[in-house]
């Protein structure tokens, strides 16, 4: 007999996270653009997490998780591993709580992300992503210091925090009296899209939720098609440095397999087009990983014409040199 699906994260968990975050996180706007509507033939809304504290949605999950750490354990601090956005989210959240933070980051992470992480008071430990295991390094540091690990995505409190993105979308769409047909969010480990899907489905059960990834780094698209977690097969790199996780998380995929309709992928060139559009037409700065969902819409990777579509712009932490090249 098939066991009923019991989600590890519920709408009640997301609402509780929203209460924790309310005094600290930015309630980011849901934007619309006549130019974008005309270009796509859809009614499009953009959830601008590029305007979030630390420049990405990651602050939400990190703050919710760190807020749950018992006060007697806070002096030992936290440890995280991240290519940049989670690093900054954890560092900022730890700083607010008066806790030390150590972040294990790849040596090839964008310099701006490394420097901003240090700017929030965190210690940065660099590693080689091709030869070293970031999780093992983080575990060793946490054991030595008796610190708490704050994972990037595969944790119910992290997912609930990220789910406040979807909760805000649902509330804003409800206030407008509009039901979304499609909601698309970037996916790396899957925490953002899992939390967003949970919140959206609670309010709009008929909405189709999609993950967006760079070509090659398509572990979510592969896994959704296969019905089980599968790694991507990428051997090179992508400009979407925030979306290079090799396989969906166990907790996140259990949610996403039930709630997502499909995964879509885009090329780096298509991402560049989306970033340039955001800058030229909407005066918004997005990083490559934060723009993949919009890139999928602009590239026609799903049928949007005549539909109401919500796109999550998940982050805006991009090196100035890369940004100048992409918009030029």
Co-location of 108 and 255 in the same domain = no
Res. 2: pLDDT tops 70: no
Q: Are residues 43 and 90 in the same domain?
A: no
Q: How would you label 160-175 residue by residue, b for 16+ Cβ within 10 Å and e otherwise?
A: bbbbbbbbbbbebbee
Q: How many CB atoms lie within 10 A of CB 250?
A: 12
Please determine, for residue 279, whether its predicted confidence score (pLDDT) is greater than 90. yes
User: Does residue 309 share a domain with residue 208?
Assistant: yes
In a shared domain, residues 132 and 279: no
221 contacts 211 by C-beta, under 8 angstroms? yes
Count Cα neighbours of 140 within 13 Å in the Cβ-side half-sphere. 8
Q: Are residues 298 and 202 in the same domain?
A: yes
| pLDDT score at 6 | 76
**What pLDDT score does 129 carry?**
82
181 & 311 share domain: yes
**The predicted structure's pLDDT at residue 48:** 98
Q: pLDDT tens digits, residue range 96-112?
A: 999 999 999 989 887 88
Strands of the sheet with 148-149, listed across from one edge = 123-127, 101-106, 78-81, 148-149
Q: Which domain holds residue 137?
A: 58-149
| Contact status, residue 241 vs residue 214, Cβ threshold 8 Å | no
**5 assigned to some structural domain:** no
Q: For residue 4, what pLDDT band results from cuts at 50, 70 and 90?
A: low
> 3 in a domain, yes or no?
no
Number of structural domains, the chain? 2
pLDDT the model gives residue 70:
96
Same domain (yes/no): 123, 253: no
122, 209, 132, 199: which is closest to 165 by C-alpha? 199
Mean pLDDT of the chain: 95
Do 21 and 143 belong to one domain? no
* Cα–Cα dist 56/14, whole Å: 18
């Amino acid at each position: 007999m098939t066991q009923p699906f019991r989600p590890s994260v519920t709408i009640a968990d997301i609402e509780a996270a929203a209460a924790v975050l309310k005094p600290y996180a930015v309630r980011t706007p849901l934007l619309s653009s006549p130019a974008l509507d005309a270009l796509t033939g859809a009614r499009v809304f953009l959830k601008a997490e590029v305007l979030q504290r630390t420049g990405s949605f990651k602050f939400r999950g990190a703050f919710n998780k760190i807020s749950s750490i018992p006060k007697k354990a806070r002096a030992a601090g936290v440890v995280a591993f991240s290519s940049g956005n989670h690093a900054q989210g954890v560092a900022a959240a730890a700083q607010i709580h008066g806790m030390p933070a150590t972040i294990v980051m790849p040596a090839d992470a964008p310099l701006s992300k490394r420097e901003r992480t240090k700017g929030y008071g965190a210690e940065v430990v660099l590693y080689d992503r091709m030869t070293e295991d970031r999780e093992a390094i983080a575990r060793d540091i946490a054991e030595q210091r008796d610190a708490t690990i704050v994972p990037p995505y595969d944790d119910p409190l992290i997912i609930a925090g990220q789910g406040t993105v979807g909760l805000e979308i649902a509330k804003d769409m409800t206030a407008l009296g509009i039901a979304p047909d499609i909601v698309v969010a970037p996916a790396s480990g899957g925490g953002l899209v899992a939390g967003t899907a949970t919140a959206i489905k609670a309010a709009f059960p008929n909405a189709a939720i999609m993950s967006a990834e760079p070509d090659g780094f398509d572990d979510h698209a592969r896994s959704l098609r296969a019905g089980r977690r599968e790694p991507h097969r990428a051997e090179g790199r992508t400009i979407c440095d925030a979306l290079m996780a090799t396989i969906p998380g166990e907790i996140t995929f259990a949610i996403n397999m039930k709630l997502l309709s499909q995964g879509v992928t885009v090329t780096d060139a298509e991402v560049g087009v989306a970033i340039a559009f955001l800058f030229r037409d909407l005066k918004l700065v997005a990083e490559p990983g934060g723009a993949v969902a919009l890139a999928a819409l602009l590239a026609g990777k799903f049928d949007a014409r005549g539909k109401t579509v919500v796109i999550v712009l998940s982050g805006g932490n991009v090196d100035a040199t890369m940004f100048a090249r992409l918009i030029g």
